[in-house]
Amino acid sequence: MSGGARLEIEAGGAARYGSMGTENYQYLIRETDRSGIKTLNDIRDVQEFREQKQKYWGKAKSAQWLGRAEYVKHFKQDPEGFQAMIEPYTQALFKKVNKQFFDVSSVGNPKSTAEAFLNKTHAGEVAVAMEYIANALKRDLTTENLFNLAASQSFGAGISKAQLETRMKMQKAMGRKLGEEFSSIEMDNSKKLWTSCFYLVLK
């Protein structure tokens, strides 16, 4: 995570590709596969977080499944109160993904502990939504869609027939049989919004 809620694709420990705005990757993940978002909502639905659910997640099961907007609003009103309210949920997210709790000292030098929890809560939601995509192939293709957006190659959600055919060829080339993950995916349900191309500037 970099720059608050913007998401970057990294390679070799350094950011190598462009960043994506929240609305873009929120849409892309939801419209490619929602099983990880279901896992996120299962965490939110536990009795322990009923107060947080009323305050932050009124639209969580809609297209606006990330809680970032509500978090920022309450953080600005009362940073310490926000931290106290959100910390148990943040720790539940990190335990789900990393099998350990979030240590604020791992951030380095945040502007405040409350802001560190603001950003890491958002990061944890994205991590759960991606890590817990049930179908491994769909998880791979969601990552590909995110990469294409970050690299300004295209912006599209869902899974295209071309993407599946490419992976089928790769599996066959490696002498592997096609697993069940292929048969459970609907062919060509992609939503391509734009595709990049080369262009020439004349001066």
Greater confidence, 145 or 195?
Answer: 145
Residue 153: inside a domain, yes or no? Answer: yes
Residue 203: inside a domain, yes or no? Answer: no
Q: Environment class of residue 180 by beta-carbon count within 10 Å: exposed (0-12), middle (13-18) or buried (19+)? A: exposed
Q: How far is it, in rounded angstroms, from Cα 173 to Cα 15? A: 32
Q: Are 91 and 134 in contact (CB under 8 A)?
A: no
Mean pLDDT of the chain: 79
Residues 158 and 181 occupy one common structural domain: yes
Residue 28: inside a domain, yes or no? Answer: no
- Angle of CA points 199, 202, 203, to nearest 5°: 145
pLDDT at residue 183, rounded to an integer: 53
pLDDT digits 0-9 by tens, 127-165: 999 999 998 888 988 888 888 777 766 666 777 777 777
**Which residue, 105, 131, 157, sits at the end of a domain?**
131
Q: How far is it, in rounded angstroms, from Cα 191 to Cα 28? A: 9
DSSP class of 18: E
Greater confidence, 104 or 5?
Answer: 104
Residue 111: inside a domain, yes or no? Answer: yes
Residues 141 and 127 occupy one common structural domain: no
Q: How far is it, in rounded angstroms, from Cα 61 to Cα 38? A: 9
Radius of gyration of the chain, Cα coordinates, nearest whole angstrom: 19
- Domain of 87? 34-131
Number of domains in the chain: 2
| CA dihedral of 129, 31, 118, 42, whole degrees rounded to 10 | -40
Query: Which whole-number Å values give the CA distances from 25 to 29, 33, 124, 144, 145, in the listed order?
Result: 6, 12, 14, 12, 9
Greater confidence, 20 or 104?
Answer: 104
pLDDT digits 0-9 by tens, 7-58: 555 555 555 555 677 888 898 899 889 999 999 999 999 999 999 999 999 8
Q: Six-digit token pair at 96?
A: 């789900």
Residues 98 and 158 occupy one common structural domain: no
- In one-letter notation, the amino acid at residue 25 is Y
